[in-house]
């Protein structure tokens, strides 16, 4: 069986976040969604689980839920099939209330293209294309 990755993000407004991720190309899996969570599927191996802040808290014990617009705890990178797909994903985020920026790595865009894409809460996904992974 192939490994699956589930990125769990705390969100302030579950409905708005679900709509945002749908507009990025994710599909909501209703079997793993309720009033506290939305299971958002990219493909058979990569999901983003959107969790209300209270529900997210249940998974982290005595730790505090950070405000991802002010602090970072993780950067979730994933590959896309082309440099243009990376650009389109970033633009879709911006067009729907999120944002993106590019960190200059000194690597030619013929070799790798990637952006830091922020959702409505400031959680960051890193869509990336690499010529020779």
pLDDT at 73: 84
User: For all residues of the chain together, what is the average pLDDT?
Assistant: 95
In a domain, 120, yes or no: yes
In a domain, 116, yes or no: yes
Considering its fold, how many domains does the chain have in total?
1
In a domain, 109, yes or no: yes
pLDDT at 111: 95
How far apart are the C-alpha atoms of 80 and 128, rounded to whole Å?
A: 6
How far apart are the C-alpha atoms of 62 and 42, rounded to whole Å?
A: 31
Single pTM value for the model: 0.91
In a domain, 67, yes or no: no
How far apart are the C-alpha atoms of 91 and 49, rounded to whole Å?
A: 22
Is residue 12 within 8 Å of residue 122, measured between CB atoms? Answer: no
In a domain, 114, yes or no: yes
In a domain, 85, yes or no: yes
- What domain range includes position 40? 5-61+74-130
Is the torsion defined by CA of 97, 116, 125, 122 positive or negative?
negative
For 70-119, the pLDDT digits (tens) are 998 889 999 999 999 999 999 999 999 999 999 988 999 999 999 999 99
**DSSP symbols for 88-102:** HHHHHHHHTT-EEE-
Q: What angle do CA 119, 111, 94 make, to 5 degrees?
A: 20
In a domain, 68, yes or no: no
In a domain, 112, yes or no: yes
Helix (H) or strand (E) holding 59: helix 53-59
**DSSP symbols for 10-55:** EES-HHHHHHHHHHHT-EEEGGG-SSSEEEEEEETTEEEEEEEHHH
CATH number of the domain at 115, please. 3.10.180.10
Partner residues linked to 126 by β-bridges: 77
Does the structure show a pLDDT above 70 at 133?
no
For 25-72, the pLDDT digits (tens) are 999 999 999 999 999 999 999 999 999 999 999 999 999 999 999 998
pLDDT at 132: 83
């Amino acid at each position: 069986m192939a490994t699956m990755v589930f990125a769990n993000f705390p969100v302030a407004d579950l409905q708005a976040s679900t709509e945002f991720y749908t507009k990025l190309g994710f599909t909501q899996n209703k079997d793993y969604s309720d009033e506290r969570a939305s299971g958002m599927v990219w493909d058979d191996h990569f999901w983003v689980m959107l969790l209300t802040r209270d529900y997210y808290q249940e998974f982290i014990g005595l730790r505090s839920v950070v405000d991802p617009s002010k602090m970072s705890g993780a950067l979730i990178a994933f590959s896309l099939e082309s440099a243009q797909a990376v650009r389109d994903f970033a633009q879709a985020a911006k067009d729907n209330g999120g944002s993106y920026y590019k960190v200059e790595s000194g690597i030619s865009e013929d070799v790798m293209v990637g952006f830091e894409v922020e959702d409505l809460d400031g959680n960051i996904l890193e869509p990336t294309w690499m010529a020779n992974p």
